[in-house]
Each structure stands twice: as structure tokens, then as C-alpha cells.
Structure 1
């Protein structure tokens, strides 16, 4: 069934988003990301104390591709 749409104002669309007006059969956005972080990087809460002295994050990724999106 056709869609009747009035005025539309788009302010921002992020990189992995979909914007559609009207009829659509299927929509599926794809995205992938790699995150490297050292010890204590993702701690959340009140009053957290992290003492790591000398912390290093070593990354060896020989294949370069983890998730292929086509």
C-alpha cells in the first residue's frame, strides 16, 4: 500500500543507520568495529581506583580481516 508522507526534516544520520520513507520489503544495516583497550579501560562506577603501573596492550592481528561485510 502506498505511503503518504508530509514534510520531513533530517538533521543527522549516523554511519551505520538506515533512513527510509515509503514502502520497503527488508532493511538490514551492517557495521563492524575493532576495539583495543588496556587494563582497566572499561571500568564503570563510583570511586574506582585502578593502579596498573606500566600497562601495555599488545595486538598481533595477522589476518587483518575479522568480519567481512558485503
Structure 2
């Protein structure tokens, strides 16, 4: 159903975002990311004590490429 849209101001759009004004059949935002994190990286809370004695994160990726996302529909 058509609509009248006034002024739209877009300050920023991320790489995995979609901005649409008007009729649309299907919107499929697609993005991927690889996150390396060590022990205790995503801990949240008040008064948190984390002891990581000689911890290391293995970031070596021997295969070179990961699974693609181009067929995710």
C-alpha cells in the first residue's frame, strides 16, 4: 500500500543494516563476524573477580576461509 513519507534523516547505517522507505517484498540483512575472545572476556556484573592464570587465545585459522553466507535465504 503506497504511503506519503515526509523527511527522513539517516545519520549512520551499519554494514549489516537495511534502510527502506516504501513497499518491499522481502528484506534480508546479512552480515558475519569472527570474534576472538579470551577467558573472562564477556563477563559482566558488579564486583567481578576473574583469575586467568597464563591464559591465551588461539587465533590461528588454518583453513583460510570460513563457511559463506551467500546461500542463507
TM-score by length of 1: 0.83
Alignment-derived partner of residue 54 in structure 1: 54
Q: Unmatched 5+ residue regions in structure 1?
A: none
TM-score by length of 2: 0.80
Moved more, 60-69 or 16-25: 60-69
Find the aligned partners of 2:7 and 2:18 in 1 and give their Cα distance: 18
Matched, 1:4 2:4: yes
Find the aligned partners of 1:40 and 1:13 in 2 and give their Cα distance: 31
Q: CA RMSD in A?
A: 1.5
Alignment-derived partner of residue 27 in structure 1: 27
Q: Unmatched 5+ residue regions in structure 2?
A: none
How far did 1:69 drift? Answer: 2.6
